[in-house]
Amino acid sequence: MHRSTRLLVFLVLFFVVGSFSFVSAEMPAPKDEKKHTTLGKYVDAANAYLMWLKDPEKVKILDCRTPEEYVYVGHPPMAHNIPSRTWTGKWDPEKKDYALQDNPDFEASVKKAFDTKDIILVVCRSGHRSAASTNRLAAAGFTNVYNVVDGFEGDKVQDEDSSFKGKRMKNGWKNSGAPWTYDL
């Protein structure tokens, strides 16, 4: 076989096998409907990290949490922080939490940072904001956006007998073994 033909066959096989590995990282829609997206692309934190490792030039990690969460709770070292919602400083007694408001510059900021052809893995605290952010990006023309369904901190432990009940230690980027940092 001619050298250029072998090279072409190798490249075709490399891309075919590589595309299957991305598909295998996908998972079915999560049970929690707040984590569902219009694009229907889901990945857990551990597989999100593996996807990024395989092709860091094409696979991008977008952390859509507030800058305060990104800095003080930690973040994946390769993540770009573009908040989809921002902190208002106003207490919501009904939710027993501080209110967040939509960031009107979110989509435009993401378009400046990423190409619409990039694979974007969106992470928030637990998978809810990242689902809403994924939907906003889909409406803005992005088609290859995944919700990292267990987020950065993960889901809360529900076991009544666990000393960790109510703590976000069940899954998520921070608990998956993937690297994370407080460094900026």
Please say if the pLDDT value at position 140 is more than 70. Answer: yes
Strand partners, 87: 100
- Give the largest CA-CA distance in the chain: 73
Sort residue 74 into left (φ over 0), alpha (ψ -120 to 50) or beta. Answer: left
Q: What is the pLDDT of residues 45-60, one digit of tens each?
A: 999 999 999 999 999 9
Q: What is the pLDDT of residues 87-96, one digit of tens each?
A: 999 999 998 9
Total Cβ atoms within 10 A of residue 76: 24
pTM, two decimals, is 0.83
In the DSSP assignment, the letter for residue 164 is T
- Which pLDDT band holds residue 118 (cuts at 50, 70, 90)? very high
